[in-house]
């Protein structure tokens, strides 16, 4: 799933760089977007499913440092390669290079192997991970417990369980709003005073302390309250930007960016803990689809500045506040062992 998504996104970017008309460009960018939509889900699930309770939050959140570094790096590359065809080609070939360089080292999730009845393959992966951790070639692990096989489950499998159904709807809404606010702020960078390259670079850099804050708070305050706090910071920062101009507007906008970047980080971790292994990717994929809807709506919100410059931040800030309220209806997952079955996950409160 990860490599297919990366390949589609890379091919779309490379072909877009060579497009000679609107419709070809439209098709290529659609292909690129299709790949990017699966890339985020597949990569995050694959990273976190090998982690135990102790390291799940710390390392799960750490993956987002690379996202933020990519944003900051993108600003420098765009400044160096201002011609859009060169920039698109660079992005596409970067994806191809990633596949080539990581293919030898990347392994399938042992949880997925177990959930689909491939216990031997799961055991092999765990042994390889254990050898790498112990730097020994004589590692022996006890046999893995055979799970009940449940193949072919999709997101509809959670519907008969009221608790899981509520979690799915709530997280889909939170994903949509988080994406709306995040990309709304990203698209609004050009409306802020100063250089668009520098503002984009700062947007990426300001996410680093946001992720660090999330790493600390997630175990001190729990998943739910950390998300509520970060979303509240985003709401206050975005709403405040409607009251200022110049450098002060940039400052409060970056406070909003701090909050929403941390929120975007948290919702991936939170979602993986709210759903059992057998439907985790499907539920996270559904929430990611809702996030794409938020990204689609974001440009329309920014266009509202033609009516009044204050409208976009007011709408985005209010939306972030509503996501805080929805988050409060969800259970805490800190320290909870991830369930493998639907019934078991539904019983967790």
> Across all residues in the chain, what is the average pLDDT?
86
> What φ, ψ does residue 222 adopt, rounded to 5°?
95, 165
Give 318's pLDDT tier (boundaries 50, 70, 90): very high
Q: Which of 15-29, 93-107, 130-144, 175-189 has the lowest mean pLDDT?
A: 130-144
pLDDT in tens, 196-237: 888 888 888 888 998 889 888 888 898 899 999 999 999 999
What is the pLDDT at residue 149?
Answer: 55
pLDDT > 70: percent of the chain: 94
End-to-end CA distance of the chain: 31
pTM (2 decimals)? 0.75
Residue 66 burial (C-beta neighbours within 10 Å; 0-12, 13-18, 19+) = exposed
What is the pLDDT at residue 248?
Answer: 82
Cα separation of 287 and 171, whole Å? Answer: 6
Helix axes 53-80, 22-48, angle to 10 degrees: 150
Cα separation of 329 and 244, whole Å? Answer: 34
């Amino acid at each position: 799933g990860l490599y297919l998504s990366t390949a589609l996104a890379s091919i779309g970017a490379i072909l877009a760089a060579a497009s000679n008309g609107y419709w070809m460009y439209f098709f290529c960018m659609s292909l690129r977007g299709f790949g990017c939509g699966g890339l985020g889900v597949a990569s995050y699930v694959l990273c976190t499913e090998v982690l135990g309770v102790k390291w799940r939050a710390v390392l799960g959140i750490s993956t987002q440092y690379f996202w933020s570094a990519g944003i900051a790096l993108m600003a420098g590359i765009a400044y160096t390669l201002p011609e859009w065809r060169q920039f698109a080609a660079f992005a596409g070939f970067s994806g191809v290079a990633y596949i080539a360089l990581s293919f030898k080292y990347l392994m399938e999730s042992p949880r997925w192997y177990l959930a689909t009845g491939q216990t031997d393959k799961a055991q092999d992966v765990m042994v390889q991970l254990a050898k790498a951790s112990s730097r020994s070639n004589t590692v022996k692990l006890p046999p893995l417990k055979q799970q009940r096989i449940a193949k072919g489950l999709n997101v509809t499998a959670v519907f008969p369980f009221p608790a899981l159904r509520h979690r799915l709807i709530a997280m889909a809404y939170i994903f949509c709003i988080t994406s709306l606010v995040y990309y709304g702020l990203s698209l609004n960078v050009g409306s802020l005073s100063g250089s668009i390259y520098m503002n984009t670079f700062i947007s990426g850099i300001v996410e680093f302390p946001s992720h660090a804050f999330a790493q600390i708070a997630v175990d001190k305050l729990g998943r739910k309250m950390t998300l509520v706090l970060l979303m509240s910071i985003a709401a206050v920062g975005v709403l405040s930007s409607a009251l200022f101009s110049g450098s002060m507007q940039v400052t409060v906008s970056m406070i909003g960016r701090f909050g929403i970047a941390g929120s975007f980080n948290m919702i991936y971790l939170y979602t993986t803990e709210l759903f059992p292994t057998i439907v985790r990717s499907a539920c996270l994929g559904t929430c990611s689809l809702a996030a794409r809807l938020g990204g689609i709506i974001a440009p329309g919100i920014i266009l509202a500045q033609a009516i009044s410059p204050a409208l976009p931040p007011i709408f985005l800030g209010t939306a972030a506040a509503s996501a805080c309220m929805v988050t409060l209806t969800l259970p805490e997952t800190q320290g909870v062992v991830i369930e493998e079955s639907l019934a078991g996950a539904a019983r967790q409160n």
